[in-house]
Amino acid sequence: MTDTAFDPARDGAQMSFDGRMSYGDYLQIDRILSAQHCLTGAHDELLFIIQHQTSELWMRLALHEIDAARRMIAADQAREAFKMLARVARIFEQLNSAWDVLRTMTPSDYSRFRDDLGQSSGFQSWQYRLIEYAVGNRNAAMLRPHAHRPDILARLEAELARPSLYDVALAHVARLGLPVPEAVLARDMRQPWQADDGVRAMWEGVYRDPARHWEAYEPTFPKWPAA
């Protein structure tokens, strides 16, 4: 009988990884796959853990992109930020779509292990809070759930001390010559955003005459990557 089984080595594929970096080594797959520690024997608990762990990974990437986009806009390189912000929009789509998998777990399924989780909740996700602060939804009261972790608290407080994504966007369009109120540019950025008639009027002017204000108008629309 002729051996017709496909052997990738015949086409030059590397098949031996002794002493070489492998796929698993690079991605630290063993560490990732050993990070799911169920507290109960409930079948659906593993789904619950993986759903939230993968969400945290996506949020880590979102923060990476938001931070880079913010630096670009602060340097008046808004075009370079477009792709980053489009990627963030896709990440959030991915996060929303992931709930379709979690919805296969019924309330009855969840009740089989929820009590064993104690007071833990997604409400305590510090990366979620960091995203809120980074894009401009700032509420210092939301620091309290993280007070037991001085390292995380320090990171969140440092974020509150920085201009948000929206703050740097307003500063950018002000440098383009648009009439952003000086009081808005000089406001205490640790405080929650307050609607401002001058900012509203400025954006109305941009949308009423896009051709004149194209540099401010164009970045307001995400640049979606080709499918």
CATH of the domain at 114: 1.20.58.480
Using N-to-C axis directions, what is the helix angle for 197-208 and 165-175, rounded to 10°?
60
Residue 27 lies in a domain: no
Residue 4 lies in a domain: no
pLDDT tens across the length of the chain (227 residues): 556 777 677 766 665 666 678 889 999 999 999 999 999 999 999 999 999 999 999 999 999 999 999 999 999 998 899 889 999 999 999 999 998 999 999 999 999 999 998 888 877 899 999 999 999 999 999 999 999 999 999 999 999 999 999 999 999 999 999 999 999 999 998 888 889 999 999 999 999 999 999 888 876 554 444 43
Residue 58 lies in a domain: yes
pLDDT at residue number 12: 62
What is the spatial distance between Cα 61 and Cα 71, in angstroms, rounded to a whole number? Answer: 16
Residue 150 lies in a domain: yes
Range(s) of the domain holding residue 167: 43-220
pLDDT at residue number 226: 43
Q: Which of 163, 204, 152, 223 is nearest to 187 (CA)?
A: 163
pLDDT at residue number 5: 76
pLDDT at residue number 224: 43
Residue 51 lies in a domain: yes
| Predicted TM-score (pTM) of this structure | 0.84
Q: How many structural domains is the chain composed of?
A: 1
pLDDT at residue number 3: 62
**153's tokens:** 């608290």
Residue 18 lies in a domain: no
Residues with Cβ < 8 Å from 178, sequence gap 6 or more?
Answer: 202, 205, 206, 213, 216
* Largest interatomic CA distance in the chain: 84
Residue 111 lies in a domain: yes
pLDDT at residue number 14: 65
pLDDT at residue number 220: 55
Contact call for residues 98 and 53 (beta carbons, < 8 A)? no
**38's tokens:** 């169920």
pLDDT at residue number 121: 80
Residue 5 lies in a domain: no
Contact call for residues 109 and 76 (beta carbons, < 8 A)? no
